[in-house]
Amino acid sequence: MEPRHGPRSRLRHVTAVFVVALATIAVLLLIGSWQPSAIAFTALTMVLGFVYLCYLVWEIATGRVGLIHWAPTARRRRRLAAARAQAEALAGQHRLEAALSHGPYRPEPAAHPARNEHARARQELLEAIERHGTQSPQARAAADKLRSLRD
């Protein structure tokens, strides 16, 4: 199905106007006298020109055409926005399907404690302070162990 304002539609409209104008000229020439034909042709041309001018003003006012340069019209902008939203939704669906294809969510375990003894002792001191406080016997024992490793 062709769009209402496509190139072929405009070509058909221009062709129809041209054929009507030629038929009008032929009828006016068949009337016989040149002066009434010229007046009638001028009046008809002015009326048709005014109608076409109103049509162009209507197209500009509704955003179907632009004056200075080509820009997406209001209808085309809405169509592009709808297409963009549809593409984003499709991409989101693909991301969701890719994420679900890996199975259920499993949080990664906490970072492994450091392998050397000094870092392990420091980690134990931090955990003891967090759990029992700074003045607890567990924190003091962890601090003593850390001091012994430093020496």
Do 133 and 76 fall into the same domain?
no
Q: What total of structural domains would you count in the chain?
A: 2
Q: What pLDDT is recorded for position 69?
A: 59
**Per-position b or e across 62-89, b if 16+ CB within 10 A of its CB:** eeeeeeeeeeebeeeeeeeeeeeeeeee
Do 67 and 128 fall into the same domain?
no
Spatial separation of the C-alpha atoms in residues 145 and 79, rounded to whole Å: 70
Do 122 and 86 fall into the same domain?
no
Q: What is the dihedral of CA 28, 33, 39, 42, to 10 degrees?
A: 40
Within-domain flag for 109:
no
Within-domain flag for 105:
no
Do 64 and 123 fall into the same domain?
no
Q: What pLDDT is recorded for position 14?
A: 77
Do 41 and 88 fall into the same domain?
yes
Do 82 and 41 fall into the same domain?
yes
Q: What pLDDT, in 10s, does the model give residues 82-132? A: 999 999 999 989 888 888 887 777 777 666 554 678 888 888 888 898 888
Answer whether 0.75 is exceeded by the pTM: no
Q: Which residue has the tokens 């040149």?
A: 34
Within-domain flag for 108:
no
